[in-house]
Amino acid sequence: MISKSRWKFLAMLALVLVVMVWYSISREDRYFELFYFPILEKTEPCVQGEARRIVSVIFGNHSQSHPIFLQLKDYFWVKTPSIYELPFGTKGSEDLLLRVLAITSYSIPESIQSLQCRRCVVVGNGHRLRNSSLGSAIDKYDVVIRLNNAPVAGYESDVGSKTTMRLFYPESAHFNPKVENNPDTLLVLVAFKAMDFHWIETILSDKRRVQKGFWKHPPLIWDVNPKQVRILNPFFMEITANKLLRQPVYQLRKVKQKPTTGLLAITMALHLCDLVHIAGFGYPSTLDKKQTIHYYEQITLKSMTGSGHNVSQEAMAIKRMLQMGVLKNLTYF
């Protein structure tokens, strides 16, 4: 027989467990409320200038006066030379850049310019997109921004088929532009070093290729229309590092920290769009050694070692923006 005092103890213990489970669920709901957003509905209000108004709190009003893409005219007579070298400025790379800008373009397509309110989604490459069935929702946005060599072909049900812009750098250009993009997709070069300008010039002008100076061999042949290529203004790399990650632009350490292409794409989107959503962002826990980091390949967090990216710092920056309402998330984070 169990004594009355023992029954009371067990009852109290059960009550405590129930309360703990309820609290855990309520906290989880709050977590998802902050960092998860259901599929976009066309009726959702889009207020012109809203994202950029909120973003001025983070980046300052002056950031909106900088062009998204570099323009040739600014490098014929440079009134205010850049004070930073790549990836935060163009100091020392002006001659190379001038030749690249002479064969590429800088305009934002009229199909985007003419929109009264620009709804954008930045599609990350994270494993959370796998089996997400978000493809049709992603394709509803006015502007779909993708990253590096993330494939579309074969993954349409999860990631969609529309690509308005794709940010890349030479080492991440191992994709077929004709297969993984639409005919009017803008290919936006993110330059981390002077050799990146040299590579794109040799590709577009069919000059002698150079393989040295890259941490991974970039493609030697890349079938793309030069008029679809844009050069992202390094100013956005500077403010992503400085304002979002609070990293100094001048760094003494051997492996210098720099933002990922994904966080940089978010910064760009916030200056281009009125409504910005994200999908497929976030890395596995550092304790999870086997979880892949991308939806399309079997590599783990170990591959980020020595990359110069601080993924924990970036996660906190994205969470701050989600809490502020600057971004909304299509996948959990």
Give the pLDDT score at 36.
47
The whole-angstrom distance between residue 151's C-alpha and the CA centroid of its chain comes to 15
* CATH class for the domain made up of 39-67+115-191+228-329: alpha beta
Buried b / exposed e over 254-278, threshold 16 CB at 10 Å, is eeeebbbbbbbbbbbbbbbbbbbbb
In percent, the amount of the chain with pLDDT more than 70 equals 81
CA 272, CA 329: separation in Å to the nearest integer?
Answer: 18
Name beta bridge partners: 145. Answer: 122, 165
CA 246, CA 209: separation in Å to the nearest integer?
Answer: 37
Residues, the chain, total?
A: 333
**Among 259-263, 292-296, 306-310, which stretch is predicted with the lowest mean pLDDT?**
306-310
Average pLDDT, the chain: 86
CA 292, CA 302: separation in Å to the nearest integer?
Answer: 10
Q: Which residues contact 170 (CB under 8 A, 6 or more apart)?
A: 195, 196, 199, 200, 214, 218, 219
**Among 4-18, 224-238, 241-255, which stretch is predicted with the lowest mean pLDDT?**
4-18
Give the pLDDT score at 316.
94
Q: Which residues contact 206 (CB under 8 A, 6 or more apart)?
A: none
pLDDT (mean) for 214-236: 95
Q: Are 236 and 271 in contact (CB under 8 A)?
A: yes
pLDDT (mean) for 175-190: 96
**pTM higher than 0.75:** yes
Angle separating helix axes 261-272 and 50-59, nearest 10 degrees: 120
pLDDT in tens, 241-255: 999 999 888 766 655
pLDDT in tens, 120-133: 999 999 999 999 99
Look up tokens 């532009």; give the residue: 177
Look up tokens 């991974």; give the residue: 216
Nearest partner of 222 among 171, 292, 147, 272, judged by Cα: 171
pLDDT (mean) for 154-165: 98
Q: Where are the domains of the chain?
A: 39-67+115-191+228-329
Give the pLDDT score at 2.
54
